[in-house]
Amino acid sequence: MAVAPGSGPRSVYINQIVTFAKLAWADRRIRILIGVAAIAIASAWYWFASSSATLTIAGRHGFRHAEVSIWIDGDLKSTYEVSGSAKKKFGVLQKIEGTFSHSLRVGSGDHIVKVRFHSLTDNSDITRQVGVNVEARTESTVYVNADRGILSLAFAGAAPKTRSEPEPSNSYAKMFQSIFMAIAGSVLSATVGFVVQDFLKSRKAAKAAS
């Protein structure tokens, strides 16, 4: 028996979702709440982007196959695998070498970065940590040197600006951030009040009609 296209369970489910979305969008309060949610998300994203920094954990290792774990202030942020290969020099087999790099977004200020190298081919398992201090809207690096029995970490902060480089005005950035957050907060407060009043009016109208 032939089945008409678009009549399967999946199509019915999609049609139900589309119908519900149309009915919800027809309600003015729903549209207002969606706008408020969009403003709140944009404000949160802007605040995080302006107050965070990029921290890169990169370096070299001497493992054929290993698992790398990274903690920031005690919270596990990333776990991934790395691999190395044996290098030859002048036809002679040299030691295994590999490189890696991984970037994370962190808040500005002081942090404790912990790195663990766990070999997947033997019992080598080493953990070390280092203190770092990062500034907002900068890029810093923790350099790693890992081998069997060896794991060293060295922090390199953002490169200092020379006099020839134009310095961004942090005061202007902070001012615009404060203005943006104040406007977003005012819009959010006014919108919530409007929605509440509109809801109460609709309730009163419904009671009067009954």
Q: Is residue 89 part of a domain?
A: yes
| Domain span holding position 68 | 54-156
Average pLDDT by stretches of 10, the chain with 210 residues: 56 77 68 70 61 89 95 95 84 81 91 96 93 90 92 83 45 56 64 66 68
Position 18 scores a pLDDT of 77
Q: Is residue 175 part of a domain?
A: no
For the chain, the domain total comes to 1
Position 101 scores a pLDDT of 95
- Indicate yes or no: pTM above 0.75: no
Position 165 scores a pLDDT of 44
Q: Is residue 190 part of a domain?
A: no
| DSSP one-letter code for 157 | -
Position 77 scores a pLDDT of 94
CB 98 within 8 Å of CB 61: yes
Q: What is the CATH number of the domain that holds 131?
A: 2.60.40
CA–CA distance, 7 with 5 (Å, rounded to integer): 6
CB 61 within 8 Å of CB 82: yes
